[in-house]
Amino acid sequence: MEVILAEHMGFCFGAQKAVDTVYEQIENEENVGRPIYTFGPIVHNEEVVNDLQRKGVRVLSDLAEAEKLPDGERGTVIIRAHGVARAVRERLEKQGYTLVDATCPFVKRIYNIVEKESEAGKSIVIVGNAGHPEVEGIRGWSNTKTYIIGSLEEAEKFTPEEGEELCIVSQTTFNYKKFQDVVEIFGEKGYNGSVVNTVCNATEVRQAEARELAARVDVMIVIGGNHSSNTRKLYEICRQECEMTYYIQTLDDLHLNLPKSVRLVGITAGASTPNNIIEEVQNYVRINF
C-alpha cells in the first residue's frame, strides 16, 4: 500500500506564527511572575493547548472571565491568529491586560478593508459562518451595518436596502468555490458595491490539493481538531471525492480496518494541526498496512 501526503498541510503561516508567539512570551523575561493567557485556544488543537497549559499558559474564554480575575492576575494576553473585534481589544486594555497581537496578517488585511469601506459608508457582507470567532472579529471592525451570509440559500434570500452600497469579503477559511457562488448570486441580483476575495491562499491551496488527492486514492485521512472549521471543510471536500474518508484528531482516533483492495491512502491535515501528529499518523499507516 502506498501513502501519499498532501504537499501543503498542517500549520499554516498564521497558526505557526501564533503558536511561536506564545512560546516566545513564555521565554520573555518581562513575563516572569506574570500570568500569560491566550484569548481563546491559540489554535483549535487540544495537543497544542495542553502542552501550553503544562507550561503555565491559561486560556481566557471571554471578556467576562477576564473581568472576574483580580488585578494581580491580569497579565499578558495573546490574541490568536483569528483576531478579535476592536471593542474586545479596547476592553482588555482597559481592564489592565498587556496585549500581544498574533492576529494573522491576512485577517488584519480584512479588518483594514472593513474599516475603510464602512467608513466610506458601505454596509459589509461577510461570507462566512456566523458565530465563528474570526467572523465575529471581522464584524467588530465595521462601523456600519454588517450581514453574515453562510450559504447559497441565505444569499438568495438577501435583499439590500434601497440605495445600500455593499462591500463583500469572506472569512479566510471559507470554501473558495462557495464564495464565488455566493458572489455570483449577488451579481445576478445586481447589487451595488465591491467584492474583495479574502479567502486565504493557504486554504485555497489546501482545499484544491485535498480534492485532487482524495479523487485518486482509495482511502483518505483528514487530521485536525474537532473545532477546526478549516479541517471540517477539508473533510467535506474529501468526502465528496472519496467515500472512505476518515476525520481524526490524533493517531488514537484512527481505527482502520481496510479491505485488501486498498492500494492508495492519502493524508491531509487542517491548518492548526502540528507536524508531530501528522508524522505519527503517516508512520503508523506506512508500518501497519
Residues that bind ligand SF4 (CB under 6 A): 12-15, 81, 104, 106-107, 172-173, 200, 202-203, 271
**Minimal distance, residue 97 CB to ligand SF4, in Å:** 22
**Minimal distance, residue 170 CB to ligand SF4, in Å:** 11
Note if 134 is an active site residue. Answer: yes
d(CA 246, CA 157): 34
| Closer residue to ligand SF4, CB minimum distance, 123 or 203 | 203
Cell of 74: 491580569
Among candidates 198, 228, 287, 197, which has minimal Cα distance to 9? 228
Between the CA atoms of 178, 180, 184 and 185, what dihedral angle is there, to the nearest 10 degrees? 30
Catalytic residue among 27, 30, 134, 162: 134
| Closer residue to ligand SF4, CB minimum distance, 100 or 217 | 100
| Closer residue to ligand SF4, CB minimum distance, 74 or 132 | 132
> Which residue do the cell numbers 482545499 mark?
207
Is residue 3 within 8 Å of 265, Cβ to Cβ? yes
**Minimal distance, residue 224 CB to ligand SF4, in Å:** 12
The CA–CA distances, whole Å, from 112 to 101, 115, 145 equal 15, 5, 16
| Closer residue to ligand SF4, CB minimum distance, 175 or 203 | 203
d(CA 165, CA 192): 5
d(CA 218, CA 168): 38
**Minimal distance, residue 268 CB to ligand SF4, in Å:** 14
d(CA 80, CA 193): 31
Output the CA angle 142-135-126, nearest 5 degrees: 65
| Closer residue to ligand SF4, CB minimum distance, 3 or 6 | 6
**Minimal distance, residue 205 CB to ligand SF4, in Å:** 10
Which residues are known catalytic residues? 134
